[in-house]
Amino acid sequence: MCATNSRDLSVFVDSAAEAQADFGVDPVSVCSAWHAALASAAPVQGEALPAPISPVQALPEEVEGLPSAPATAKPSPRPIVRTRPQPPFAVVLHDDPVNTFEYVVGVLMWVLRCGKNEAFDLTLRAHRTGKSVIWAGTKEHAELKAGQIRSCGPDPATMHRGARPLGVHIEEMPAAC
């Protein structure tokens, strides 16, 4: 609710309370209409119109004749939802005796966006041990990386020897303690 000065306050409070009781009109709406009416009225003999006051500023906490604001119930606390992080998945490259080292290194550089030395080390580890973890991350991203490696196909230089696409699979990594 609002008022421009103390002498108008009692008139406005009474009319706002009556409007709400009689017609179900919100006092804030009445306030806006009242300000609009005041703005269109001419000032009384050299008296300037005061600036509108917001409904929050206009009245003290409780005014006689107006019902107090209904007590609001505190919202019930939201249950705490604890999400578990996704376990990491590894992309595992298998040793390939047919595709050339250069081809495997080139595929890893392209798919993993790594340097030549890192790609060579990953390829050498797969060659020596039979398989090598070449990338780790979320399951969806690991599936994407494995699919990209497979989609490169076999080494064109060794297709006559029966080369196949690079052997990769994904597996869940053990959870960290």
Residue 132: how many other CB atoms lie within 10 Å: 20
Question: Domain segments of the chain: what residues?
Answer: 6-58, 89-172
Sheet strand arrangement including 89-94: 131-137, 89-94, 168-172
Which of 95 and 16 is assigned the larger pLDDT? Answer: 95
- Give the β-pairing of 131-137 and 168-172: unpaired
Q: What is the pLDDT of residues 44-60, one digit of tens each?
A: 555 555 666 555 555 55
Per-residue confidence (pLDDT) for residue 120, from 0 to 100? 97
Cα separation, 3 vs 10, whole angstroms: 9
User: What's the topology of domain 89-172?
Assistant: Ribosomal Protein L30; Chain: A, (3.30.1390)
Q: What is the pLDDT of residues 71-112, one digit of tens each?
A: 666 777 888 888 888 899 999 999 999 999 999 999 999 999
Q: Can you give the pTM of this predicted structure?
A: 0.53
Is 117 a residue whose pLDDT tops 50?
yes
Which of 3 and 112 is assigned the larger pLDDT? Answer: 112
**Which of 20-24, 164-168, 172-176 shows the highest mean pLDDT?**
164-168
